[in-house]
Structure 1
């Protein structure tokens, strides 16, 4: 699917520092890393192989951070994601650097200067780059995007998601399992977004993060993206319901759906299903993507090419919802499906000749009866 990273040619590096000698410890960071790795390697998300999602916990020196990033950058051809959680600090020039266990504020050489991390990320040939910084002052990295990461991205651009503004402080609330920012990110990946589309893209996740964190009076995340980077998908939306999707409601509000009551035969029923897809404007792949439970593209195609009714109503119901048909209309279609199924069991389909060719009458069939001009005649 467009926007979903190809697992085999994508890589992720998750870096976290929880224990510091001269700074406050951040126990929640230790929980962030495995939870985010689970999310990225799950079948409902990128489906990365475990060996393609490097977890770097408690790196003690600069090389322990940059070498895994450079290795992942060399291997990635589709998407490279780099995540850091820990203390964000500034050097004597006000530049952001990522804190290591022995880092000291104002001394950039004791941590990982963001500029060096950026160079490591751009050392490869990945088409897209996602950088997630869950640390204080992470918004300072946004200023570097325009001249480096985003401008050098080859196709879909780059996306930087920062947990706090340029001068803001990220939170690791005492007693909570995860840091404030990453905890909400994980919850979105697990629970989804009500009323959203079938898949979660970066932009919708960002908007949801700002909304939820603002409601809790917590630091607001910042972002910088380039080209179509915001459309990159993170995983399936587990809260998605085809018949309540805001996009489906908007698309279908003016649609003139076929009236199932005019359908008399199985062939007319199947043709009308194809007409519904045409009205919805969705490709077979898009219908498959929106289907819940899942309905593969081949299953959608097979349904639309049948010459008899499906034995079970379930696949048709899923298909109609995935096309955006309102729930009350889906119920009407089920009544007609049952009527035609019963009729077909007691008499042959008269719209099909013995040779398998359609009769002149069936060339008009339900489409003529559905025609607005036909319906307006007295």
Structure 2
């Protein structure tokens, strides 16, 4: 799982066009995916780490947002696009913008521009590119998923997930809230994959979407894995989590002999304070225990209110003891608790160094003056009106 404090997402979509067919479902895609990435069902990204660019007026609005996020992300960068895709005379992918005209590729955004930003300007260790767009050079609404799409859009050190529907209806079925591909992706992350592993990584998600889309009569997606990008997880498998937190009476059994076999959050992947507390909250989810059950398993060393207070902190505890008690009560194995302590010590040292050397550096891994939240006024107005 990525550290949410050191990760960024840029979600781009065009639903309204002057010269091409409208795609109203794309606007729903953006809102739903942004909410999901910030929720406990997925990465729990801070809202300011998700940039939504809806109906961009010009190519530089997209490229600029990607460049900023690429410079800020130290762990994982996610770039998503939904809308029409066109093909230029050189068989290169062009992302359609509101003013794009068919046959005039200079009015669109060449995907290669985005790709170059990811290759040259990104400091993220892992990059995820998701393309939910048309791919056609023949007629509006007619799309061909040629084998070259993944090659054209490939990014080094990343995972590319591409959906190229064959018809306009396949891209956005009549009466559906979301486009077909993004709707299936949202469903997999919200509901989980029955029988799947504890984490929904991109490799698992890709294979599930291929089966799902084929069963529904839609074109199957394509994928390209570079440098183990398929191992990046977008969330825990909701189908494999406990149906409800375990009450005190069943706490001992829930955190019993199989605790060491559970897929606990890996403290070695923590880079930021945000990531520390996100992973700490995931520990309780994996344990299946309520706050009260954790308290009772601590043998009186933690009250239920103390558990809640610990998980809702925004700054590191000054001492290690309470966190150690919490992890032990949840059933985390002793060797992993030691790794957690190492992560806590490293973050404490980083924070102390940051305060001494540069007061503008924040705990989320990026410059204090940099903000990734850039919603167009139209999006903000819609949210306010609702």
TM, length-normalised to structure 1: 0.63
Q: Which runs of 4+ in 1 moved over 3 A?
A: 138-141, 167-170, 282-292
Instruction: Report Cα offsets for 1:169-210 as digits up to 9, x if no partner.
Output: 761112210000001111111111111222211111111111
Structure 1 residues 104 and 197: alpha-carbon distance in aligned structure 2, compared to 1, 3 A threshold = same
Distance 1:177 1:201 in 2: 25
Q: Does 1:92 align with 2:77?
A: no
Aligned partner of 2:222 in structure 1 is 222
Give the 5 Å matches for 1:31-70: 31-70=28-67
**Secondary structure of 1:239 counterpart:** helix
For residue 291 of structure 1, give the secondary structure of its aligned residue in structure 2.
Answer: helix
Q: From the superposition, tell whether residues 212 and 284 of structure 1 become closer, same or farther in structure 2 (CA, over 3 Å).
A: closer
* Alignment match, 1:126: 124
How far the C-alpha of 1:242 sits from its partner, in A, is: 7.2
Paired position in structure 1 for 2:286: 291
The Cα shift of 1:99 comes to 0.3
Determine whether 1:15 maps to 2:12: yes
Q: How large is the RMSD of aligned CA atoms in angstroms?
A: 3.4
Instruction: For residue 78 of structure 2, give the secondary structure of its aligned residue in structure 1.
Output: strand
Distance in 2, matches of 1:295 and 1:197, equals 23
**Structure number with higher relative contact order (C-alpha < 8 Å, ≥ 6 residues apart):** 2
Change (3 A) 1:284 1:48: closer
Equivalent pairs, count:
267
CA deviation after TM superposition for structure 1 residue 20, in Å:
1.1
Q: Does the alignment pair 1:110 with 2:118? A: no
Decide whether aligned partners of structure 1 residues 204 and 237 sit closer, same or farther in structure 2, where only a CA change above 3 A counts. Answer: same
Largest Rg, 1 or 2: 1
Residues 272-306 of structure 1: CA distance to partner in whole angstroms, max 9, x if unpaired? x55x667x5x687689588362589xx69x96x98
**Structure 1 residue 21 displacement after superposition:** 1.4
CA distance in 2, matches of 1:292, 1:277: 8
**How far apart are residue 241 of structure 1 and its match?**
5.0
Report the Cα distance in structure 2 between the residues aligned to 1:52 and 1:182, rounded to whole angstroms. Answer: 21
Note closer, same or farther for the CA distance 1:94–1:168 as it changes in structure 2 (3 Å cut).
farther
Conserved 8 A contact 2:172-2:179:
yes
1:168–1:219 Cα contact (<8 Å) kept:
no
Report the alpha carbon displacement of residue 145 of structure 1 after superposing the two structures with TM: 5.5
TM-score (norm 2): 0.61
Residue deviations 1:121-144, cap 9 Å, x none?
A: 231210000000000127644113
Q: CA deviation at 1:91?
A: 0.7
Contact kept in structure 1, 2:242 and 2:288, CA below 8 Å: no
Query: Helix, strand or coil for the counterpart of 1:65?
Result: helix
Following the alignment from structure 1 to structure 2, what is the Cα–Cα distance between the partners of residues 208 and 144?
24
